[in-house]
Each structure stands twice: as C-alpha cells, then as structure tokens.
Amino acid sequence: MTPLLINTPLTRAALEIATKAHKGQFRNDDVTPFIEHPIAVANGAVELYNAGGVAYAAQTDRDRELLTVAGLGHDAIEDVEGFTNDSLLYPLSSKRGLLADGDYLTGDEIRFLDGTLDRLNKHLYPDYLAFT
C-alpha cells in the first residue's frame, strides 16, 4: 500500500475506515486494490496544498490532516452504498473515543470536512483525479 504523506493517528484512522469501505474493490486493472486511488487523492491534495494550489487562510499541519481525511473518504461517500459523510466523520469525532484528545475531529472540523467532501471532486483537482 502506498504510504500517506500525512501519517498521524487521525489519518491512519481515516485510512482504516476507507480501507474497510473499499474492501474487495479493485481498480480497472482488476489487480490494484481500489484504496490506492483514495490514497493518491489524499496525497495529491496535500501536494497541491503545499504548492499553494488550494486557497485556505492558514496552512497548518492540521489543515493537511483534514485534507488527507477528505481525500481518503471521498470515493467511499460517492460510491459505497450506505456510506455517508457521517460514516467517515463520526468514528473520528470525540464522541467515539477512538482517538486521543487533540487527535479527534472537533465540531468545526467536522463541518469543514462535510463541505470539503461535498466539493472535493468538483473544485480542488478534477484533472488530477482523472489520472489517479
């Protein structure tokens, strides 16, 4: 599996959720596990962000974590029946206790990610997505 550029407890938890959602799915070559695509999207979002291609007010390590979470979850939300924004975000919130204090998503971050997940394919990097 391709490593994440942003490897933290939060992004590892999101990767675990996305990997379970895409279990048994493969890319068009019928060999590559589908999870490689969300990983490529997550890493690509961070690369664009680092290069100044994504306009956010502050460029912090936490922002990069949030972009990684959005990239990892975007296809499960679009393509996996019954998987919603909440399927990704709720387990990563403080309500679940899966992550230590400071690692889990806050309410503001969940609201940010809700909007980001809804816009991801349309605005951030549509040309990049076609090649991953």
88 within 8 A of 76, measured Cβ to Cβ: yes
4 within 8 A of 39, measured Cβ to Cβ: yes
Q: From CA 27, how far away is CA 37, in angstroms rounded?
A: 8
Query: Would you state the pLDDT for residue 125?
Result: 47
Q: From CA 42, how far away is CA 69, in angstroms rounded?
A: 7
- Counting residues of the chain whose pLDDT is more than 70, the rounded percentage is 78
DSSP assignment string, 35-88: THHHHHHHHHHHHHHHTT-S--S---HHHHHHHHHHHHHHHHHHHSTT--HHHH
pLDDT in tens, 25-78: 999 999 999 999 999 989 988 887 777 655 554 467 888 888 899 889 988 888
